[in-house]
């Protein structure tokens, strides 16, 4: 069995440490590089120490040198960092699993362009449960297509910097696509003051940032006399890490192309 060499971006962060643990425990994968920003206090330290052991991989900010010896990078960082890794991976032929959120439309176009040369799984949420939830939302929206107001409520920890979450936005996109609507035109992000009656076509978003909430998402279809709620709650970041490892394995025979977790899980 060939062991696949994995680079972990943002290795000292909450998600980075979870990814280090997941890859270390996998028999077919190994941590070959651990990346951090140039001002990180962890530079030069053994990445294994972040999860209570040693693995001989020094944390570095030199992503060009580190990625040359890797087969994949798993990146749950920020758009600027992911895009810097993207260019290096494209040249070096390193496949990418990207869970970063907050990309602009133009930045997403850069991912699509790079996927002509390398294989990429790009998904706002790697959780298997969340992606099953997205499939359920597609079905619900097609059936509850008249007489139901749609609201999406999401909650995350106090350190999350983008809102709504990428997962909440993807939920909105899936629902809007099923209803034949353009999310950019019908989305309402929060309400305040005298807003008037609700427009039937809108899809509302509400955001909570508090404490150490890992991630909670609710899609509400509220009609006259009944309400349908489809809910996903994550209690551990390991669920995202395990989904990322499934994405790595999915890409093994893919030379190029842009995929998401619906592809990985065979939900298309």
Residues with catalytic function: 156, 160
Burial of residue 163 (CB within 10 Å: 0-12, 13-18, 19+) is middle
Q: Report how far residue 247's alpha carbon sits from residue 126's, in angstroms, rounded to the nearest whole number.
A: 8
Find out whether 177 and 170 touch, Cβ atoms under 8 Å: no
Alpha-carbon distances of 133 from 101, 137, 167, 168, rounded to whole Å: 18, 6, 11, 11
The CA-atom distances, in angstroms, between 204 and each of 50, 146, 152, 182, 222 are 40, 16, 6, 13, 12
């Amino acid at each position: 069995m060939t062991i696949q060499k994995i680079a972990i971006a943002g290795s000292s962060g909450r998600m980075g440490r979870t990814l280090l643990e997941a890859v270390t425990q996998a028999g077919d994968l190994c941590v070959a590089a651990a990346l951090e920003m140039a001002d990180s206090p962890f530079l030069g330290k053994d990445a294994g120490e972040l999860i209570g052991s040693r693995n001989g991989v020094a944390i570095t900010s030199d992503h060009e040198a580190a990625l040359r010896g890797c087969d994949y990078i798993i990146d749950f960082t920020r758009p600027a960092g992911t895009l810097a890794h993207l260019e290096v991976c494209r040249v070096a032929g390193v496949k990418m699993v990207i869970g970063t959120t907050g990309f602009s439309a133009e930045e997403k176009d850069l991912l699509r362009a790079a996927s002509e040369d390398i294989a990429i799984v790009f998904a706002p949420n790697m959780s298997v449960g969340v992606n099953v939830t997205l499939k359920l939302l597609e079905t619900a929206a097609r059936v509850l297509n008249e007489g139901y107001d749609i609201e999406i409520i999401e909650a995350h920890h106090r350190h999350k910097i983008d809102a709504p979450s990428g997962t909440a936005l993807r939920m909105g996109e899936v629902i809007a696509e099923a209803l034949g609507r353009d999310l950019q035109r019908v989305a309402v992000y929060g309400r305040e003051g005298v807003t008037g009656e609700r427009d039937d076509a809108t899809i509302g978003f509400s955001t909570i940032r508090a404490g150490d909430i890992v991630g909670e998402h609710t899609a509400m279809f509220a009609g006259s006399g009944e309400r349908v709620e489809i809910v996903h709650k994550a209690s551990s970041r390991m669920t995202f890490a395990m989904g990322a490892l499934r994405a790595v394995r999915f890409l093994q025979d893919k030379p190029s192309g842009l995929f998401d977790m619906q592809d990985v899980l065979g939900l298309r």
